[in-house]
Amino acid sequence: MLTDAHCRNAKPREKLYRLKDFNGLYLEIKPSGIKAWRYRYKLNNKESMFALGNYPDMGLADARERCDEVRKQVKQGIHPVVHRKQEKARLIKEAANTFEALATEWLSLKSWEAVTKARRLNMLERVVFPTIGKLPIKQITPPIILSILLKSSKENGVTVAAEAKRTMFGIFELACETFRVDANPVHQWREALPKNKTQHKRALSTAEIGQLLKDFSGHGGHFQTIYAFRLMWLTLTRPNEAVRAEWTEIDLETGLWKIQAHRMKNRREHVVPLPRQAVDLLKALHPITGSTPFVFPCRDDRNKPMADATIRQALKKLGWATKYSPHGTRTTGSTRLNELGHRGDVIEAQLAHTEPNSVRRTYNHATYLDERREMMQKWADMLDELVEADKRKPVSP
C-alpha cells in the first residue's frame, strides 16, 4: 500500500511507470512529471484503465474513496467510462434547462393572445429572470423562490408578486410533468407572504353611470378613446375586445359584430348585436379609420390597434380610477340588466360567459340573439337617458 510520502517523493523517469496501491488503484507518473490516479479493472473479460484524477489535487485518501465508488459500478456491470460520458451529457442538458428557457417553452404552449404573452414575459423579465433566469431549474429551491416573492411584494406590490407566484408555479408544473424536476419548488406559503386581497369594484349606480359617461365624453381626450369607451358600454364587451375591434368583424347592415374566436377569452366566436347607437357611432367612424384594419387604430402605427391602457389612463385623469375600472362595465351591466328583469341566460350569453354544456351553449347563442338584440337596444336607450339626466342636474355652487 502506498503512503502519501511515496506519492509525494515519486520522481519522473524517462518512461511512464506506475506505483501500485491496492484494489486496482495505481499512481501513474509520467515523464512530464504529472502524477495521475488510475483504476485498473476487468469487465466482460476485458481489462481497462480509468482516470480518477491527478495528484496532489486528489490526495491518496480521496483517490481510494473514488476508486471504491467506481469499483462498485464495475461490480454492477456499469462501464465507468460510459457512465462518465452519460453523466457529462446529463449535466450539459441540465445546464441548458435554465428557468428562462423553460419559461419560454411554457409561454409558447399557451393559447393566449400575443399581447397577453408579452405582458407576462415582461413581468418575468422584471421580477423573476434577474435572480433565476440563467439558473438550471434543478438548482432552484423553495427558499430562492420565496426570496423572489418577498422582494417582489415589497418593490412591485402583492398583486405582481401573486402573478409571479402563479406563473412560476405553472412553469415548474411543466418541468414536473416532463420529468425535468422531481417536485415543484413553488409552495403555497399561507403565512410567509403578504396576502393578496383582490378588491373587486362594485357595480355603479344608475346615477354614477350617467355621470361617468358624461365625464368621459367631455374630458377632452382623443375622439377614438371616447368612441372605444362608448362602444364598450353599448355592447358590454371586454375592454380589449372593444379597443381591438376589426372592421372585418363588423356588419353595419345587419347590426352584428362577430368577434373572432382567437380574440375571445373562451376562444369561441362571439356574436354581438349592435344597438342603433353603436351602429351610428361606427358609421361616423368608418370614413376616418375604415381604411385601416382596426376600428380604433394606434395613432403611431395605423396597422396596430389602440393600446388597452388608453382608457385606463383617461379614467385616471378624470379621477374615476379609484372607484371604477373598465372591466367593471360588465359587472355593472349584468347587475342593472338583472334589475330590469332580463333573463339571466340571455345576459350571460351577451357577456360571452361560458356555458359548460356544448349543446345548450349552441342553442343559447342561436335562440337568444333576437332577445339579446332587444335587450341591448333597451340598455343603450337607458344609457342615453342617464347621460341626459346627469346633464340636467343642477350644478353645485
- Catalytic residue numbers read 238, 265, 327, 330, 353, 363
Contact yes or no for 52/39 (Cβ under 8 A): yes
Phi, psi at 253, each rounded to 5°: -70, -45
Q: Which residue has the cell 353603436?
A: 278
Dihedral sign, Cα of residue 156, residue 162, residue 167, residue 169: positive
Contact yes or no for 18/26 (Cβ under 8 A): yes
Nearest to residue 38, comparing CAs of 55, 21, 51, 19?
A: 51
Q: Which residue has the cell 400575443?
A: 114
Contact yes or no for 2/60 (Cβ under 8 A): yes
CA–CA separation, 23 and 20 (whole Å): 9
Contact yes or no for 73/45 (Cβ under 8 A): no
Nearest to residue 320, comparing CAs of 214, 233, 393?
A: 214
Phi, psi at 120, each rounded to 5°: -70, -40
Q: Which residue has the cell 328583469?
A: 341
Contact yes or no for 345/260 (Cβ under 8 A): no
DSSP labels, 273-337: EPPHHHHHHHHHHHHHHTTSSBSSB-SS-TTSBPPTHHHHHHHHHHT-TTT--TTHHHHHHHHHH
Residue 27: count other Cβ atoms within 10 Å of its Cβ. 22
